[in-house]
Amino acid sequence: MFAARRAGQWVGVFSFVVLPLLLVSSYYVLWVSERYVSTTQLIVKDNGNSQGMSSALGFLVPGAGGDSQDAFLVVNYIQSLDMALYLDDELGLSGYYKNSSIDVFSRLSADASQEEYLDYYRAHIGVSFDEITGIISIEMQAFEPQFARQLVEVVVRKSEDFVNALSNQLADKQVAFVRNEVERAQGKLRSSKQQILDFQNRNQIVSPEELTKGIGVIIQGLEAKLVESRTNLTAAKTYLNANSSQVISLQAEIDSLERQIEAEKVRLVGVSEEQGDERLNSLNAHFQNLQLDLQFSMDTYQASLTALEAARMEASGKLKHLMVVSQPSVAEDAEYPHKLYNLASLAVILLLLYGIGKMLVASIRDHRV
């Protein structure tokens, strides 16, 4: 009785522990497709010292908050469907995973969906970011060491393109905004110049201010002649008759000068109502306002050009690139699966399950008794 029970225990141990271990061991030794690993390390750097700037790719110093955020963008991109599909286009990755030379438990199903392909891809890569050092670590698994390295090289190249595209896009947006402001300022400057030209053509005056100064000089000259003529008339009346030709001539000259002075003053402060013209002083005030608008437009345009150049320099400093810290490696030994570890873990699990099963069976028998 005791011998039969003991034989039954050994049969149970063999069936539930030893036999599965033997089967798995045989699979690992005779059939399993070993996976090789290629690794590399990257760091994202900018082209200039842009610590005071902020952007979706604002890589500053290792460990900085913005740097962590930007590096995680790269990490997420490597794990994304876009990267998986790109690798499939470039290297035929899904077909490689489905190759019949790979054991049935390790390869991707021949009719796998896009989601299943992505899950399989993610299960065979490792991407992490060290916030202290700022280093992105990449691990790619493949069933041949050279293909694993090729995967890493393509991933690094595509990630570099991703970083460049993002940083260029952000830089272009910033410069485009400032360029639009330059174009607006340029349009206002042209409009101000055209308004001055229209004013000059409409009033047939190059500069009301210069015209006013010229009229003032003419009036001063006429008034000086008027004073001289009046002095001569006063002197002539002391020894000539009022009806003498000289006195009459001087008086006529004085009247003419007075009319000329009055006419020039009319030009200065107001002209014929029939012609509907503006007063010269009003024209001068209007022209000065146009000149102020032109000067403001010129200053704004110059400031916008300066801002555009500064934006270009700032954008150039924000451009990012991936720097390879360690080159992709070529493995000499397979990394996966961890055969001894997996077998030991399986043995522990099987023994635990067998022990639990034995206790349950013993408990049930005790209750029956």
Query: What does the pLDDT look like over 37-72, one tens digit per residue?
Result: 999 999 988 765 444 444 444 433 344 444 577 788
Strands 135-142 and 36-46: antiparallel
- Write down the number of H helices and E strands in the chain: 11, 4
What pLDDT is attached to residue 268?
A: 64
- Residue 279 — very low, low, confident or very high, per pLDDT cuts 50/70/90? low
Portion of the chain with pLDDT greater than 90, in percent: 26
Chain-centre distance for alpha carbon 270: 60
N-to-C CA span, the chain: 18
Q: Half-sphere exposure (CA, 13 Å, Cβ side) for 76? A: 6
For residue 106, pLDDT over 90 is answered with no
Question: Per this entry, what is the length of the chain?
Answer: 369
The per-residue pLDDT of the chain, averaged, comes to 80
For residue 108, pLDDT over 90 is answered with yes
Mean pLDDT of the region 224-235: 84
Closest CA to 330 of 33, 35, 39, 34: 39
Tokens of 8: 């039954």
Mean pLDDT of the region 270-277: 45
What pLDDT is attached to residue 58?
A: 42
* Axis-axis angle for helices 145-203, 280-318 (nearest 10): 170
Mean pLDDT of the region 186-215: 81
Phi, psi of 278 (to 5 degrees): -80, 160
For residue 288, pLDDT over 70 is answered with yes
What pLDDT is attached to residue 155?
A: 96
Chain-centre distance for alpha carbon 141: 34
Distance CA 272, CA 279 (A): 9
- Residue 282 — very low, low, confident or very high, per pLDDT cuts 50/70/90? confident
Mean pLDDT of the region 235-252: 80
- Residue 5 — very low, low, confident or very high, per pLDDT cuts 50/70/90? low
Phi, psi of 39 (to 5 degrees): -125, 155
Mean pLDDT of the region 321-346: 83
pLDDT in tens, 124-181: 999 999 988 889 999 999 999 999 999 999 999 999 999 888 888 877 777 888 888 8
Q: Choose from 26-30, 164-168, 318-322 the range with maximum mean pLDDT.
A: 164-168
Tokens of 302: 């110059």
Domains of the chain: 35-178+318-339 (3.30.1890), 180-313 (1.10.287)
- Residue 9 — very low, low, confident or very high, per pLDDT cuts 50/70/90? low
Higher model confidence: residue 270 or residue 148? Answer: 148
